[in-house]
């Protein structure tokens, strides 16, 4: 049997590639020939050719968002999410006979004529989460670039960027003014894009710029994105013009009217109260001390690790990223990153000290988990959790919570939202670096110790 597949997750970083790998391994066990196209953050890789598709017996789509399927018209096609592909790839191979012939023309008519009924099967919360994550995934490169460039400016001295015309000042301008300046408009624009397609982009980004002007920040940007998306969607569905004037809708009526409505609501309704709330949250985070800081660290460490790339993980990460919007180092971001690094590192350590507890495949996965862990890719723990969730998940969650709490207790802060241990080499990127490393090491040891105690020896 010849199989072609496509994998794509919301962020386009880890799940996209891990799902592809799981499908390839499962197909190989069955003796099937498989080629998987990955559509990650850097674009499509291992792209399927017309010949690949023509020769394929079945198509597998493992995606958490919409991917182009017209090219598969006439082929048996079966769809899953990336989590399902990662955890149950073997069972997917046993269910290929369930694939249905995909007809692009019919699918298009269904999506246009009965869109509302097809949405009923997907919860509003799930739709909202997908729209939000679409904005966050497009925003992340701007946050990472801006954060690292700001951190590099600190490497010349904490006040070096104050000297006008200097290289540190240029780095801070590029990172803080340019990259961070685009961060919220991109977030808002692509939330709206996810809801209303291309017409939502302009009013969404305009709303995002106004979120910055009104000081409503990250929260205002999210509201602007959803507001713009649903206003444009409403206009597309409800406003009907004569065929001779339909061409005016996408280039004149929708962008002008939607931008005006979104702009007025942002200025006169949303801006002031959300700006005040944003200032309150920023001050609250900056003034956290003692037990309150430790509790927040525990919560963030737990959320970032408990579902390994799922909803709670993304909510914790989005909260932490929001704390970076002021351009300052963030204790919440440090706690979140520490908690996210611990599960794969702790499990990799466990495979070294308790080899009898793991299969040969898991011991090999442990070698990769070291790299994924220090890179802040929590999903490196998924193969272990999928095999033994009852013992692994409590161990990784407790270890991550400990790391997050210690990071807060030690008043560690970080200026970048990603990069893991690789940003440790940038002077000024991490406040209290040595204690931060201690927090991660202690959390990893806790995870390894708990796994060693809870897991049973593998019987040969």
Of 253, 278, 303, the residue that ends a domain is 278
Contact between 386 and 87 (Cβ < 8 Å) = yes
What pLDDT sits at residue 334?
93
pLDDT for residue 188 is more than 90? yes
Q: How much is the average pLDDT of 34-44?
A: 86
Mark whether 385 and 449 lie in a shared domain.
Answer: yes
Q: What is the pLDDT of residues 15-24, one digit of tens each?
A: 888 889 889 9
Q: Which of 3, 4, 6, 9 is catalytic?
A: 9
- For residue 351, give both structure tokens: 């495979």
Mark whether 314 and 243 lie in a shared domain.
Answer: no
Q: d(Cα 362, Cα 301) in Å, to the nearest integer?
A: 24
What pLDDT sits at residue 110?
43
pTM to 2 decimal places: 0.70
Pair type for strands 2-8 and 33-40: parallel
What pLDDT sits at residue 326?
59
Q: What is the pLDDT of residues 165-175, one digit of tens each?
A: 899 899 889 98
Mark whether 109 and 133 lie in a shared domain.
Answer: no
Domain range for 54: 2-117
What pLDDT sits at residue 117?
43
| Total H helices, total E strands in the chain | 21, 8
Please tell me the least confidently modeled range out of 101-110, 184-193, 335-344, 442-451. 101-110
Mark whether 294 and 429 lie in a shared domain.
Answer: yes
Closest CA to 38 of 58, 57, 63: 63
- For residue 68, give both structure tokens: 């182009």
What pLDDT sits at residue 122?
52
pLDDT for residue 118 is more than 60? no
pLDDT for residue 245 is more than 80? no
In a domain, 165, yes or no: yes
What pLDDT sits at residue 116?
44
Q: Which residues contact 420 (CB under 8 A, 6 or more apart)?
A: 337, 341, 373, 374, 375, 376, 377
Dihedral sign for Cα 76, 383, 306, 300, please.
Answer: negative
In a domain, 233, yes or no: yes
Please tell me the least confidently modeled range out of 98-102, 250-254, 286-290, 424-428. 286-290
Q: How much is the average pLDDT of 282-296?
A: 76
Q: d(Cα 7, Cα 45) in Å, to the nearest integer?
A: 10
What pLDDT sits at residue 407?
95
Q: Which residues contact 361 (CB under 8 A, 6 or more apart)?
A: 383
**How many other CB atoms are there within 10 angstroms of residue 146's CB atom?**
26
pLDDT band at 69 (very low <50, low <70, confident <90, very high): confident
Contact between 259 and 206 (Cβ < 8 Å) = yes
Mark whether 347 and 401 lie in a shared domain.
Answer: yes
Q: Which of 297-311, 356-370, 394-408 has the highest mean pLDDT?
A: 394-408
Of 91, 117, 143, the residue that ends a domain is 117
Q: How far is CA 274 from the centre of its chain?
A: 24
Mark whether 156 and 220 lie in a shared domain.
Answer: yes
Higher pLDDT, 15 or 347: 347
Mark whether 329 and 438 lie in a shared domain.
Answer: yes
Mark whether 70 and 141 lie in a shared domain.
Answer: no
Higher pLDDT, 311 or 320: 320
Structural domain count, the chain: 3
Higher pLDDT, 208 or 289: 208
In a domain, 285, yes or no: no
In a domain, 245, yes or no: yes
Residue located via tokens 């998306």: 229
pLDDT for residue 113 is more than 50? no
Higher pLDDT, 27 or 278: 27
Mark whether 144 and 235 lie in a shared domain.
Answer: yes
In a domain, 283, yes or no: no
Higher pLDDT, 205 or 375: 205
Q: How much is the average pLDDT of 34-47?
A: 87
Residue located via tokens 């390839």: 24
Q: Which residues contact 156 (CB under 8 A, 6 or more apart)?
A: 166, 167, 168
pLDDT band at 191 (very low <50, low <70, confident <90, very high): very high
Mark whether 243 and 156 lie in a shared domain.
Answer: yes
Mark whether 369 and 221 lie in a shared domain.
Answer: no
DSSP symbols for 312-350: HHHHHHHHHHHTTTTSS-BHHHHHHHHHHHHHHHHHHHH
Q: Is 412 a residue of the active site?
A: no
Tell me the pLDDT of the chain averaged across its residues: 85
Of 70, 88, 117, the residue that ends a domain is 117
In a domain, 57, yes or no: yes
- For residue 306, give both structure tokens: 């408990």
In a domain, 7, yes or no: yes
Mark whether 347 and 272 lie in a shared domain.
Answer: no
In a domain, 460, yes or no: no
Closest CA to 206 of 422, 39, 193: 193
Q: How much is the average pLDDT of 91-105?
A: 87
Residue located via tokens 């499908």: 23
**Stretch (H or E) spanning 233:** helix 217-238
Contact between 416 and 427 (Cβ < 8 Å) = no
């Amino acid at each position: 049997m010849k199989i072609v597949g496509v994998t794509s997750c919301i962020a386009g970083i880890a799940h996209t590639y891990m799902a592809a790998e799981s499908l390839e391994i499962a197909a190989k066990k069955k003796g099937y020939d498989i080629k998987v196209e990955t559509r990650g953050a850097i674009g499509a890789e291992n792209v399927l050719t017309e010949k690949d598709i023509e020769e394929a017996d079945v198509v597998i789509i493992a995606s958490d968002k919409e991917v182009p399927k017209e090219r598969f018209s006439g082929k048996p096609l079966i769809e899953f999410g990336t989590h399902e592909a990662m955890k149950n790839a073997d069972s997917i191979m046993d269910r290929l006979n369930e694939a249905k012939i995909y007809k692009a023309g019919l699918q298009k008519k269904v999506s246009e004529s009965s869109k509302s009924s097809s949405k009923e099967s997907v919860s509003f919360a799930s739709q909202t989460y997908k729209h939000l994550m679409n904005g966050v995934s497009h925003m992340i490169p701007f946050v990472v670039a801006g954060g690292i460039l700001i951190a590099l400016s600190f490497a010349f001295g904490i006040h070096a960027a104050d000297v006008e015309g200097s290289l540190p000042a240029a780095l801070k301008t590029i990172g803080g003014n340019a990259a961070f300046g685009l961060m919220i408009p991109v977030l808002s624009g692509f939330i709206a894009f996810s809801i209303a397609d291309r017409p939502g982009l302009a009013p969404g980004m305009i709303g995002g710029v106004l979120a910055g002007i009104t000081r409503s920040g990250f929260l205002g940007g999210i509201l602007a994105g959803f507001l713009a998306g649903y206003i444009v969607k409403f206009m597309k569905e409800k406003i009907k013009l004569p065929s001779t004037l339909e061409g005016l809708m996408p280039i004149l009526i929708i962008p002008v009217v939607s931008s005006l409505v979104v702009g007025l609501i942002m200025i006169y309704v949303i801006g002031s109260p959300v700006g005040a709330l944003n200032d309150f949250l920023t001050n609250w985070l900056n003034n956290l001390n003692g037990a309150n800081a430790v509790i927040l660290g525990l919560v963030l460490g737990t959320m970032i690790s408990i579902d390994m790339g799922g909803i709670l993980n993304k909510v914790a990460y989005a909260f932490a990223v929001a704390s970076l919007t002021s351009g300052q180092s963030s204790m919440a971001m440090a706690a979140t990153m520490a908690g996210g690094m611990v599960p794969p590192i702790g499990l990799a350590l466990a495979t070294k000290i308790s080899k009898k507890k793991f299969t040969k495949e898991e011991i090999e996965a442990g070698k990769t988990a070291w790299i994924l862990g220090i890179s802040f890719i929590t999903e490196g723990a998924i193969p272990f959790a999928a095999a033994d969730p009852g013992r692994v998940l409590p161990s990784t969650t407790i270890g991550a919570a400990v790391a997050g709490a210690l990071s807060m207790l030690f008043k560690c802060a970080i200026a970048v939202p990603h990069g893991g241990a690789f940003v440790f080499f940038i002077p000024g990127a991490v406040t209290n670096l040595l204690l931060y490393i201690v927090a991660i090491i202690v959390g990893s040891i806790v995870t390894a110790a708990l796994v060693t105690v809870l897991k049973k020896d593998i019987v040969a």
